């Protein structure tokens, strides 16, 4: 217990994951209807002939978004999408959300309305209902907290803990774009701060800016997997960075992995812009986060069903736990994956 | 739409209720499983042979709590209880919560642990599971957002909209204590600010300080009503103030009411302390808020079942809509009820 320490434990030194692990280690589930609690993308509740899936996410001004370059409507849209992504990561269908907002006096009602418009746009696109919420004032920035609720056939939720040795590791879409997009926005903001008359140059960067400012959840992948009759053994969404997410799956499934650097799907614009900003594209892809792609493992016998699908890339395979979680570089060397993740407490952002 | 206004609309001028009403007016429910959405204490979802009830509430530092006089463990406890209160106000049984925290760097992990301890204490007392959450950093104060999930027999949730003409209006416990307790804490803080060596004098004030700092949700009342075989026609919890809550019921039920000042249950300590601080006890009871009592209406034919129960007081009755929502004062005059409520945006707090 931290309270037994003589010195206060700094959250920045501990890190977000360790703090959460520590805080939640003593939480036990007592209800028969609580099937899966903390530690997956969403909780799984059983309230009848289907399972209910619940997930919650908080976006904080200055930590998760910068009002200088975030359009309010996009912010509302993104706040919904990142929550739905967690429901899809259970292989479930989101059906409802609740929305809580804390708003400082610097925001007008018009501004809040724009955020709501973005949320309602996302609700329409993903066919979910906004069923409740709480709106309150804040003495500082804006905080958006959303809880998403979804449903899935009884006992069919795909957990992080189901990966099996020799499973293939599959990723939807491409990664690293959201992080490189954020870098572009932050650099242009820095230029603008020095010279407020400068015009930001975003030409040709639409794709990666969109990945950062208006991401989408991979509803289509969940539908595709159903159509292909592929049920993943384990699944997670890529919010904190590919490396961190793979390690979550391996830890909770008690297995290891090999990820092949050359297989990681990176969009050419992401790659070239990373180079332009003197960033290592592979590091952006592994640790950037906020891509909201789905990462999952499947039995090798399912490979033929997904082979050649442009939305899906096999990036590695599951190994015995003793082998560890490794990156096989393009040069052929094997190096342990580091889960730098996207850790607000470490002040990686800005 | 606010965005059509030429001038920004200030939230402080608009008020919280109007802002929410405006923001949510266009939200439609599309899923068959979304039975009740925004506008009640909790949403009602249908996922099988029982209904699922969902509610969310956010507590913001400086708005809902003052770290100078709020013990962290109590804060965690209260954050859970205020959410459970919304579930009980549907006549439902809470089963799970999710917890989101935004934490500024001024808090140590020890501090967060204390908050969690308070939450887990409440979870144990009310027999609920903590099934998920999100923990993130904040550049300013502490924000706690909790979503509570509960269950109830199909179609049995008690809504705000079910009050019928001639129903009796019943209140559990007593009201005004939490507000007067807050006043004591704020006054002592003001004294302490002027003279930091002064010792606050809280002797004999335990009950009202407890009402403010460590409120309880009326699980016992929901159980009592079941035992007495009384199903309220309408119910709400008293979080924003008795007057405001009665007006919610009347508006959503399309009825009026008469509330009798002399019937409003006020604890002697609340009464005397209000007088001590030159506050009108009736105003504290009507507009104070944060009492987390249950306010409900029952058919007159159920009166014999609750008669004489020390936990329940009949404070008025439902009238036709045209009669309006009125307070009948001890002197016998009739005056319209004002819903001052507990409105963070108006800066009533501090």
Distance from CA of A77 to the nearest CA of B (A): 15
- pLDDT at position B39 is 63
What percent of chain B has pLDDT above 70? 86
Instruction: Identify the weakest region by mean pLDDT among A39-43, B154-158, B194-198.
Output: A39-43
Nearest to B134 among A58, A135, A137 (CB): A58
Nearest to B140 among A130, A133, A140 (CB): A140
- pLDDT at position B326 is 97
| Confidence label for B19 from pLDDT (cuts 50, 70 and 90) | low
Packing angle of the helix pair A72-88, A219-227 (nearest 10 deg): 30
Judged on CB neighbours under 10 Å (0-12, 13-18, 19+), B349 is middle
- pLDDT at position A194 is 87
Strand partners, B54: B43, B149
Contacts with A66 from chain B: Cβ below 8 Å:
none
Q: What DSSP string describes B37-64? A: -BTBSSEEEE-SSEEEEEEEEEEEBTTT
Answer yes or no: is pLDDT of A350 > 80.
Answer: no
Nearest CA in chain A to B104: A345
- pLDDT at position B196 is 83
Distance from CA of A228 to the nearest CA of B (A): 26
Give dist(CA A234, CA A170) in Å, integer: 10
Q: Which of B76, B147, B239 to mutate to test binding with chain A, by most A CBs within 10 Å of its CB?
A: B147
| Confidence label for A217 from pLDDT (cuts 50, 70 and 90) | very high
Number of helices (H) and strands (E) in chain A: give both, helices first. Answer: 11, 13
Rounded mean pLDDT of A295-310? 97
The Cα-based distances of B93 to B85, B86, B187, B222, B338 in angstroms read: 10, 10, 38, 8, 32
Between vectors from CA B215 to CA B211 and to CA B217, what angle results, nearest 5°? 135
Which has the higher per-residue pLDDT, A316 or A33?
A: A316
- pLDDT at position A318 is 98
The answer to whether A141 contacts chain B (CB < 8 Å) is yes
| Arithmetic mean of pLDDT over chain A | 87
Which has the higher per-residue pLDDT, B344 or A166?
A: A166
Interval A149-193: pLDDT, tens: 988 888 888 999 999 999 999 999 999 999 999 999 999 888 888
Please state the pTM of the whole predicted model: 0.87
Say if residues A164 and A233 touch (Cβ distance below 8 Å): yes
- pLDDT at position B111 is 82
3-state SS class at A171: strand
Distance from CA of B233 to the nearest CA of A (A): 21
Instruction: Identify the weakest region by mean pLDDT among A45-54, A210-219, B291-300.
Output: A45-54
**Burial B150-173, CB ≥16 within 10 A → b, else e:** bbbeeeebbbbbbbeeebbbbbbb
Which has the higher per-residue pLDDT, B305 or B110?
A: B305
| Arithmetic mean of pLDDT over chain B | 87
Answer whether B344 sits within 8 Å of A10, measured CB to CB: no
Interval B104-157: pLDDT, tens: 878 877 788 889 889 989 999 999 888 887 888 887 789 999 999 988 888 888
What percent of chain A has pLDDT above 70? 87
Q: Supply the DSSP symbol for A249.
A: H
Per this entry, what is the length of chain A? 350
Widest pairwise Cα distance in chain B: 61
Which has the higher per-residue pLDDT, B349 or A108?
A: A108
Answer whether A57 sits within 8 Å of B134, measured CB to CB: yes
Give dist(CA A43, CA A148) in Å, integer: 10
Residues 72-131 of A with CB under 8 A from B: 95-96, 98-103, 105, 107-114, 116, 120, 123, 127-131
The answer to whether B335 contacts chain A (CB < 8 Å) is no
Residue A55 has a CB neighbour count (10 Å cut-off) of: 32
- pLDDT at position A4 is 65
CA A46 and chain centroid, separation: 25
Answer whether B102 sits within 8 Å of A143, measured CB to CB: yes
Answer yes or no: is pLDDT of B27 > 70.
Answer: no
Interval A244-265: pLDDT, tens: 999 999 999 999 999 999 999 9
Strand A325-328 and strand A168-172: the pairing is unpaired
Answer yes or no: is pLDDT of B345 > 50.
Answer: no
Answer whether A14 sits within 8 Å of B109, measured CB to CB: yes
Residue B274 has a CB neighbour count (10 Å cut-off) of: 24
Answer whether A147 sits within 8 Å of B151, measured CB to CB: no
The Cα-based distances of A193 to A156, A182, B307 in angstroms read: 51, 16, 70
Distance from CA of A42 to the nearest CA of B (A): 7
- pLDDT at position B154 is 83
Nearest to B136 among A58, A127, A149 (CB): A58
The answer to whether B153 contacts chain A (CB < 8 Å) is no
3-state SS class at A201: coil
Distance from CA of A309 to the nearest CA of B (A): 32
Q: Supply the DSSP symbol for B65.
A: B
Distance from CA of B305 to the nearest CA of A (A): 32
Nearest to A16 among B26, B33, B135 (CB): B135
Answer whether A129 sits within 8 Å of B55, measured CB to CB: no
Nearest to A129 among B37, B63, B102 (CB): B37
Q: Establish whether this prediction's ipTM goes over 0.95.
A: no
Contacts with B112 from chain A: Cβ below 8 Å:
11, 19, 23
Distance from CA of A19 to the nearest CA of B (A): 7
Q: Read off the tokens for A252.
A: 């909770």
Nearest to B50 among A16, A48, A98 (CB): A48
Residue A308 has a CB neighbour count (10 Å cut-off) of: 6
Nearest CA in chain A to B66: A139
- pLDDT at position B350 is 26
Answer whether A42 sits within 8 Å of B143, measured CB to CB: no
Give dist(CA B328, CA A137) in Å, integer: 33
- pLDDT at position A116 is 86
Answer whether A54 sits within 8 Å of B147, measured CB to CB: yes
Rounded mean pLDDT of A116-144? 87
Distance from CA of B198 to the nearest CA of A (A): 27
Strand B294-298 and strand A129-138: the pairing is unpaired
Q: By C-alpha distance, which of A158, A95, A90 is closest to B54?
A: A95
Distance from CA of B246 to the nearest CA of A (A): 19
Answer yes or no: is pLDDT of B333 > 80.
Answer: yes
Q: By C-alpha distance, which of A103, A62, A55 is closest to A80?
A: A55
Give dist(CA A46, CA B155) in Å, integer: 18
Answer whether B141 sits within 8 Å of A139, measured CB to CB: yes
Which stretches of A139-245 are assigned E, i.e. beta strand?
143-153, 168-172, 234-237
Q: Which of A137, A139, A144, A237 to mutate to test binding with chain B, by most B CBs within 10 Å of its CB?
A: A137
**What is the layout of strands, in order, in the sheet containing B294-298?**
B234-237, B294-298, B168-172, B312-319, B256-260, B325-328, B334-336
Answer yes or no: is pLDDT of A125 > 50.
Answer: yes
Answer yes or no: is pLDDT of B251 > 70.
Answer: yes
Q: By C-alpha distance, which of B101, B199, B116 is closest to B147?
A: B101
| Confidence label for B332 from pLDDT (cuts 50, 70 and 90) | very high
Task: State residue B283 phi and psi, 5-degree precision.
Answer: -65, -40
**Which residue segments constitute the domains of chain A, with CATH numbers given?**
41-153 (3.30.1330.10), 160-346 (3.90.650.10)
Answer yes or no: is pLDDT of B346 > 50.
Answer: no
Answer whether B16 sits within 8 Å of A116, measured CB to CB: no
Q: Read off the tokens for B99.
A: 């917890």
Q: By C-alpha distance, which of B306, B25, A145, A254 is closest to B315?
A: B306
- pLDDT at position B344 is 40
Give whichever of A95-109, A224-238, B196-210 has the largest mean pLDDT.
A224-238
Give dist(CA B315, CA B313) in Å, integer: 6
Answer whether A57 sits within 8 Å of B101, measured CB to CB: no
Interval A8-35: pLDDT, tens: 777 667 666 676 677 677 667 776 667 6
Which has the higher per-residue pLDDT, B105 or A40?
A: B105
């Amino acid at each position: 217990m931290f309270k037994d320490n003589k010195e206060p434990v700094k959250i920045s030194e501990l890190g977000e994951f360790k703090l959460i692990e520590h805080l939640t280690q003593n939480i036990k589930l007592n209800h028969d209807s609580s099937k899966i609690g903390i530690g997956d993308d969403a909780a799984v509740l059983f309230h009848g002939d289907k399972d209910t899936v619940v997930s919650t996410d908080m976006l904080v001004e200055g930590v998760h978004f910068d009002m200088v370059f975030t359009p309010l409507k996009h912010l509302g849209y993104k706040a919904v999408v990142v929550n739905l992504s967690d429901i899809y990561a259970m292989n479930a269908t989101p059906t409802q959300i609740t929305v809580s907002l804390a708003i400082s006096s610097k925001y007008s009602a018009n501004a809040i309305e724009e955020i709501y418009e973005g949320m309602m746009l996302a609700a329409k696109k993903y066919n979910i209902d906004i069923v409740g919420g709480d709106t309150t004032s804040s003495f500082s920035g804006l905080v958006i907290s959303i809880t998403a609720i979804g449903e899935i056939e009884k006992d069919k939720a795909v957990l992080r803990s189901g990966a099996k040795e020799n499973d293939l590791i599959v990723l939807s879409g491409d990664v690293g774009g959201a992080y490189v997009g954020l870098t572009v926005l932050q650099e242009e903001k820095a230029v603008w701060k020095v010279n407020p008359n400068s015009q930001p140059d975003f030409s040709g960067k639409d794709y990666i800016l969109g990945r950062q400012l208006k991401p989408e959840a991979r509803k289509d992948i969940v539908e595709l997997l159903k159509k292909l009759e592929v049920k993943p053994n384990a699944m997670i969404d890529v919010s904190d960075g590919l490396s961190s997410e793979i390690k979550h799956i391996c830890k909770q499934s008690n297995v290891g992995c090999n990820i092949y650097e050359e297989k990681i799907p990176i969009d050419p614009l992401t790659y070239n812009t990373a180079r332009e900003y003197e960033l290592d594209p592979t590091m952006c892809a592994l640790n950037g986060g906020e891509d909201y792609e789905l990462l999952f493992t499947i039995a090798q016998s399912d490979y033929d069903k997904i082979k050649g699908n442009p939305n899906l890339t096999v990036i590695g395979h599951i190994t015995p736990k003793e082998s560890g979680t490794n990156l096989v570089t393009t040069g052929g060397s094997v190096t342990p994956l580091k889960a730098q993740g996207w850790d607000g407490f470490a002040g990686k952002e800005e």
